[in-house]
């Protein structure tokens, strides 16, 4: 323990602010109970909302947030589109959470490599997994490994400066057509970035290399392909309205696809969002029907089609087309929902770039139960279960939140309610004495984590290190009339953080 306190002192200059873990430092009496040591794995919205609610709900809680990246905020930084700055304002709230004296950030720390789940559970009373979804679902169809096919996540990370995708280099110069598989908000994001006026993008925080590539792009047609119809399109009205209003973009919709069935009408009666999306698409089809669009880019909404094969171009290694099967809607016998079934009719859609927006996927961690079909950790109101069955044993002190808890759905704010539910479970368990039983050996929390990282020679990035990155990015951005110019390589991020 003495060694841990020496390590804590040594690291204090890098942590802002890190309070020595003695009872008097927090205003507790010598007889006060041990603080509740909480570790949140993942610093995206789910992680920060959890930390915020934990600090507000338990005055004795000390919360440490770890993340594999040197930068905090998760998808707010690497997932939100650069032309949506209003969505990123939430980082101001998260920064106030990080500035709380009972909260610390440990960037550049990877679960499973730098610290194991078992080590965290031995060090903290509470471990909350909030690391989201950093992989992609697969279509599992022939040709999926051809060049020119990327996941939408990879493309989004590329233009947003995620260091893992700095070198993606999608080829935007050798085709005039791109196919986006999916019609959710992420699909609309990538389509919008491909089609948007580049002078408008130039004043956002898009990376310089992505802007250069987009300025040289020859893509003039983007096809948004969905298995079902316009009533079932998975986007929100706000996102749809924005892409339908792009300058110099002609919207193409087959009016026959807009014909609705009684089942469609029932769906729209039960969902205001679905009705609004359908109305916007219908209006766009009518508005753009007779306009002259010879000099405009084109956005095609392709409904009732599912990809069955990727066809190589003449060179054999790059995608040249997507084979699509026409579909029809049929009521599922179990759920009653309308699902797409193939009709046996096929057509080829030529393209040189494919972006698969078919869903993010979370990754399992050693020693943790994982539902591979749903891509989530089995849980009961945030309490991690030992198996996929709801009758599974609750893993004491282990919790989950965000996409890892409920799947990759919702918007940034959805994580607030999700975090509140998980924190309520934590507080309930602590009140019952489950988390800090009298017989339990003392857990060292932050001091213990510092000792583990010191022993493994892990150079973590404290929040003060992120503030150096933040400051340098904003200064570079000012020179280009941008909010920031992102640092996009691992080496440079760590170098600036440790200056």
Instruction: Give the pLDDT confidence of 386-439 residue by residue, as tens digits.
Output: 877 666 788 999 999 998 998 887 788 889 999 999 999 999 999 999 998 876
Q: Is 227 annotated as a binding residue?
A: yes
Whole-prediction pTM value? 0.89
The pLDDT confidence band at residue 287, using thresholds 50, 70 and 90, is: confident
Q: What is the pLDDT of residues 45-88, one digit of tens each?
A: 999 999 999 999 999 999 999 999 999 999 999 999 999 999 99
**Average pLDDT over every residue of 331-355:** 93
Q: Is 244 annotated as a binding residue?
A: no
pLDDT attached to residue 135: 72
Q: Is 497 annotated as a binding residue?
A: no
Q: Is 498 annotated as a binding residue?
A: no
Q: Is 112 annotated as a binding residue?
A: no
Q: Is 186 annotated as a binding residue?
A: yes
Q: Is 494 annotated as a binding residue?
A: no
CA dihedral 189, 191, 194, 200 (to 10 degrees): -50
Q: What is the pLDDT of residues 450-471, one digit of tens each?
A: 999 999 999 999 999 999 999 9
Average pLDDT, the chain: 90
Tell me: pLDDT of 3 over 50: no
pLDDT attached to residue 25: 34
Q: Is 457 annotated as a binding residue?
A: no
pLDDT attached to residue 391: 66
Task: Specify whether the CB–CB gap between 55 and 61 falls below 8 A.
Answer: yes
Q: What is the pLDDT of residues 112-140, one digit of tens each?
A: 999 999 999 999 999 999 987 777 788 99
The pLDDT confidence band at residue 7, using thresholds 50, 70 and 90, is: very low
- Strands 221-225 and 394-400 come out as unpaired
Q: Is 55 annotated as a binding residue?
A: no
Q: Is 75 annotated as a binding residue?
A: yes
The pLDDT confidence band at residue 376, using thresholds 50, 70 and 90, is: confident
Tell me: pLDDT of 332 over 90: no
């Amino acid at each position: 323990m003495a060694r841990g306190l020496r390590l804590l002192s040594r690291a204090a200059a890098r942590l802002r602010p890190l309070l020595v873990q003695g009872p008097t430092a927090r205003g507790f009496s010598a007889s006060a109970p041990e603080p509740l040591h909480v570790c949140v794995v993942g610093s995206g919205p789910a992680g920060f909302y959890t930390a915020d609610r934990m600090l507000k709900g338990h005055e004795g809680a000390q919360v440490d947030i770890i993340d594999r990246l040197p930068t905090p905020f998760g998808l707010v930084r690497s997932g939100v589109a650069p032309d949506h700055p209003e969505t990123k304002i939430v980082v101001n709230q998260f920064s106030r959470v990080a500035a709380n004296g009972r909260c610390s950030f440990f960037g550049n720390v990877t679960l499973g490599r730098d610290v194991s789940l078992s080590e965290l559970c031995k060090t903290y009373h509470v471990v909350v997994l909030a690391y989201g979804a950093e992989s992609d679902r697969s279509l599992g169809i022939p040709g999926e490994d051809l060049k020119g096919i990327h996941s939408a996540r990879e493309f989004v990370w590329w233009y947003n400066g995620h260091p893992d995708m700095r070198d993606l280099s999608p080829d935007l110069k050798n085709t005039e057509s791109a196919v986006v598989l999916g019609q959710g908000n992420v699909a609309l994001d990538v389509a919008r970035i491909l089609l948007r006026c580049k002078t408008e993008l130039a004043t956002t925080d898009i990376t310089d290399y992505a802007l250069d590539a987009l300025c040289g792009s020859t893509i003039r047609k983007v096809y948004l392909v969905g298995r079902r119809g316009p009533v079932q399109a998975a986007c929100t009205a706000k996102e749809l309205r924005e892409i339908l209003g792009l300058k110099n973009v002609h919207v193409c919709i087959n009016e026959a696809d807009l014909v609705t069935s009684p089942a469609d009408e029932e769906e729209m009666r039960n969902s205001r969002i679905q009705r609004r999306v359908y109305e916007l698409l219908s209006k766009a089809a009518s508005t753009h029907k007779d306009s002259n669009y010879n000099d405009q880019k084109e956005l095609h909404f392709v409904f009732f089609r599912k990809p069955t094969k990727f066809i190589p171009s003449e060179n054999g290694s790059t995608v040249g087309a997507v084979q699509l099967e026409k579909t029809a809607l049929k009521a599922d016998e179990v759920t009653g929902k309308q699902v797409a079934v193939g009709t046996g009719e096929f057509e080829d859609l030529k393209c040189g770039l494919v972006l698969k927006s078919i869903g993010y996927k979370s990754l399992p961690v050693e020693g943790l139960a994982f539902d591979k079909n749903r891509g989530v950790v089995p849980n009961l109101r945030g309490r991690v279960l030992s198996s996929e069955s709801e009758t599974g044993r609750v893993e004491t002190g282990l919790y989950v939140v965000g996409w890892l808890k409920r799947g990759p759905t919702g918007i940034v704010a959805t994580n607030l309610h999700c975090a509140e539910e998980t924190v309520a479970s934590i507080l309930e368990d602590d009140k019952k004495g489950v988390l800090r039983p009298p017989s339990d050996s003392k857990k060292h929390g932050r001091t213990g984590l510092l000792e583990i990282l010191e022993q493994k020679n892990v150079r973590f990035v404290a929040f003060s290190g992120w503030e150096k990155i933040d400051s340098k990015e904003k200064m570079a951005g000012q020179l280009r009339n941008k909010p920031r110019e992102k640092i996009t390589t691992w080496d440079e991020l760590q170098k600036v953080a440790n200056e």
